[in-house]
């Protein structure tokens, strides 16, 4: 306890900003903050008050029930009740939030302490402004741990902190690659390239009500409705992609290939970002089919895995 207060005093003496500390201090300020059991020690109460004062902290007071903690039932069926939980703030906090208050809430089943609510404003309905921010969390995809580790090492440029998704779209409704390509790992650029950017030319969000055969909600029906097709006219390639006996990651990759969403030099060139020539063979345009099949480097690779690749006119039938 002594160490805690020494530490709090240390923080307090160096604290220039609004500061509030709250929780179970395991002490009471006055004897009347305890009911039941032996009478509270006056000396202990004054020690607590001294410590609070030494830290230049102000007790924020409380609304609601007087006691925040109840002790176990002891002989005679009585309990001890005390106000152990409180919020203390410095002057700056009090001046910054003159309407701030502390409310003791209803006790929850699993604890002998009542929760306390600290609000900087008097209004019981405090709404944060709704903002859609571009942050690293936006890029998180828990499917791929390795991407996660990449993201942890990515430094998002300062001027993009707080940027909204629509700030990353150019006047033509395309992703503004100039803002992303210098710092974002390729894999993530690929993922973003596969997402249709938010733009009025790309359609508006719509709310749809969709029911399955028996009127219940189903993700499959919703998806079909959104994609605008039913089972009979679905491209059979889709079924082949999603039924491939490979990992989800490979399926996603094939999906990107099918939609020509790999960030090849050919695609980058269409965005005005680079030359379309393959940097490995230096001769041809780097398209999807070039990367996967036609590039001499890819050709060599496939020949090692599928020896008959070079002998017959085997091509990537999927694409
Ligand atoms: Zn090539």
Per-residue pLDDT 10s for the chain (319 aa) are 788 899 999 988 888 888 999 999 999 998 999 988 888 899 999 999 999 999 989 888 888 888 999 988 877 778 899 999 999 998 888 888 888 888 888 888 778 899 888 888 764 444 444 333 344 444 444 444 444 444 555 667 777 777 788 888 888 778 888 888 887 777 777 777 777 777 776 666 665 555 555 555 666 666 666 666 555 555 677 777 777 888 878 888 888 888 777 888 888 888 777 789 998 898 889 998 899 888 988 888 888 887 776 555 555 544 4
CA 301 to ligand 1 center in whole angstroms = 12
CA 262 to ligand 1 center in whole angstroms = 15
Rounded CA separation 10/229 (Å): 66
The answer to whether 34 and 40 are in contact (CB under 8 A) is: yes
CA 317 to ligand 1 center in whole angstroms = 19
Q: Tell whether 172 is covered by a domain.
A: yes
CA 187 to ligand 1 center in whole angstroms = 19
Q: Tell whether 239 is covered by a domain.
A: no
Domain count, the chain: 4
CA 185 to ligand 1 center in whole angstroms = 21
DSSP string, the chain: -HHHHHHHHHHHHH--S--EEEEE-S--SSGGGEESSSPPPHHHHHHHHHHHHHTT-EE---BS-S--EE---BGGGB--EE--EEEEE-HHHHHH-TT-EEEE-PPPTT-SBPPEEEESSS-S---PPP-----GGGG--TT-HHHHHHHHT----GGGTT--GGGGB-TTSSB-HHHHTTTS-HHHHHHHHTSPPP-GGG----------TTS---HHHHHHHHHT--GGGS-HHHHHHHH-SS-HHHHHHHHHHHTT-S--HHHHHHTTSS--B-TTTSSSB--HHIIIIISHHHHHHHHHHSGGGTTTT---S--
Cα–Cα distances (Å) from 4 to 7, 53, 272, in that order, read: 5, 15, 60
CATH number where 105 lies: 3.60.10.10
Query: In which domain, by residue range, is 283 found?
Result: 244-319
CA 286 to ligand 1 center in whole angstroms = 6
Do 60 and 22 share a domain, yes or no?
yes
CA 284 to ligand 1 center in whole angstroms = 6
Q: Tell whether 293 is covered by a domain.
A: yes
Q: Tell whether 92 is covered by a domain.
A: yes
Q: Tell me if the pTM is above 0.75.
A: no
CA 146 to ligand 1 center in whole angstroms = 27
CA 289 to ligand 1 center in whole angstroms = 10
Q: Tell whether 283 is covered by a domain.
A: yes
CA 291 to ligand 1 center in whole angstroms = 6
CA 292 to ligand 1 center in whole angstroms = 9
Do 59 and 101 share a domain, yes or no?
yes
CA 287 to ligand 1 center in whole angstroms = 9
Q: Which residues pair with 117 in a beta bridge?
A: 103
Do 6 and 93 share a domain, yes or no?
yes
CA 257 to ligand 1 center in whole angstroms = 16
CA 275 to ligand 1 center in whole angstroms = 13
């Amino acid at each position: 306890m002594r160490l805690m207060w020494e530490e709090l005093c240390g923080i307090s003496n160096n604290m220039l900003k609004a500061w509030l500390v709250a929780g179970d201090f395991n002490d009471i300020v006055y004897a009347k903050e305890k009911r039941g059991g032996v009478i509270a020690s006056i000396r202990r109460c004054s020690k607590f008050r001294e410590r609070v004062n030494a830290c230049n902290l102000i007790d924020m007071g409380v609304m609601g029930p007087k006691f925040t903690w109840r002790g176990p039932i002891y002989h005679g069926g009585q309990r001890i009740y005390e106000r152990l939980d409180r919020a203390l703030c410095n002057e700056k906090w009090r001046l910054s939030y003159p309407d701030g208050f502390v409310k003791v809430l209803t006790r929850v089943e699993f604890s002998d302490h009542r929760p306390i609510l600290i609000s900087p404003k008097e209004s019981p309905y405090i709404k944060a402004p709704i903002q859609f921010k571009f942050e690293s969390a936006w890029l998180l995809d828990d499917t791929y741990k390795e991407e996660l580790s990449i993201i942890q090492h990515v430094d998002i440029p300062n001027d993009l902190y707080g940027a909204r998704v629509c700030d990353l779209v150019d006047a033509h409704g395309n992703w503004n690659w100039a803002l992303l390509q210098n710092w974002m790992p390729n894999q993530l650029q690929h993922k973003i390239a596969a997402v249709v950017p938010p733009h009025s030319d790309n359609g508006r969000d719509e709310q749809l009500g969709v029911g399955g055969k028996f009127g219940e909600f189903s993700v499959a029906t919703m998806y079909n409705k959104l994609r605008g097709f039913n089972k009979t006219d679905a491209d059979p390639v889709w079924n082949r992609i999603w039924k491939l006996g490979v990992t989800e990651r490979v399926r996603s990759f094939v999906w990107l290939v099918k939609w020509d969403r790999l960030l090849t030099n050919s695609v980058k060139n269409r965005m005005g970002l680079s030359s379309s020539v393959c940097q490995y063979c230096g001769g041809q345009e780097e398209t999807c089919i070039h990367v996967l099949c036609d590039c001499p480097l890819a050709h060599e690779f496939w020949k090692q895995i599928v020896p008959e690749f070079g002998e017959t006119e085997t091509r990537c039938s999927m694409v």
